[in-house]
Amino acid sequence: MKFTVDDITLVDHNGKARSYLNKSLLEKQNITTGGLDKLKELHTKRYRLVDAMEETDDVNLLKFFDNCITLIDFELQETWGFEKDSKFHRWFELPKCRCPVMDNLDRLGTGYHIINGSCPIHGGNE
């Protein structure tokens, strides 16, 4: 299936273009029109949650949103045709997360993480 720029454009819940899907990967994974629609829907839901995280400092809400995003990330992996594997989630890039990005990027895919104890989402919440 051939995809246009409009097909691969990801928009948020406000209709703003935020990113693009990887056209080559869509073709390699043989993503159908239905799969494309689901990917776009999941990304829109994820953008809504990320935006909500930016708007709050409530630790319980941040953790709730983080859990919702984790579930969406699993659905994204499945829709792309990949194994569901949290080792490839980029949880450390979420708003309000204080865990070190570079250290966790270096460990992406390994299952090892670096957690900042003062992170309101992943730390001990001292």
Taking only the tens place, the pLDDT of each residue in 40-84 is: 999 999 999 999 999 999 999 999 999 999 999 999 999 999 999
Q: Is residue 119 part of a domain?
A: no
pTM summary value: 0.91
Sign of CA dihedral 22, 27, 30, 32: positive
* Span 55-67, pLDDT tens digits: 999 999 999 999 9
d(CA 15, CA 48): 11
Instruction: Enumerate the H helices of 29-122 as residue ranges.
Output: 33-54, 59-80, 101-106
* Residue closest to 58 by CA, chosen among 24, 96, 32: 96
Give residue 126's pLDDT: 53
**Does residue 98 fall inside a structural domain?**
no
Of the pLDDT bands very low, low, confident and very high (cuts 50, 70, 90), residue 125 is: low
Percentage of the chain modeled with pLDDT above 70: 98
| Average pLDDT value for the chain | 94
Q: Give domain status of residue 32, yes or no.
A: yes
Question: Across residues 14-41, what is the average pLDDT?
Answer: 93
Residue 31 belongs to a domain: yes
State whether residue 11 is helix, strand or coil.
Answer: strand
Considering the domain boundaries, does residue 78 fall inside one? yes
Max Cα distance, the chain (Å): 51
| Structural domains of the chain, count | 1
Domain range for 10 is 5-85
Q: What is the mean pLDDT of residues 96-122?
A: 95
Residue 41, domain member (yes or no) = yes
Does some domain include residue 103? no
Flag whether pLDDT at 34 surpasses 90.
yes
What's the pLDDT score for residue 72? 98
Question: Which tokens belong to 47?
Answer: 């953008």
Residue 120 lies in a domain: no
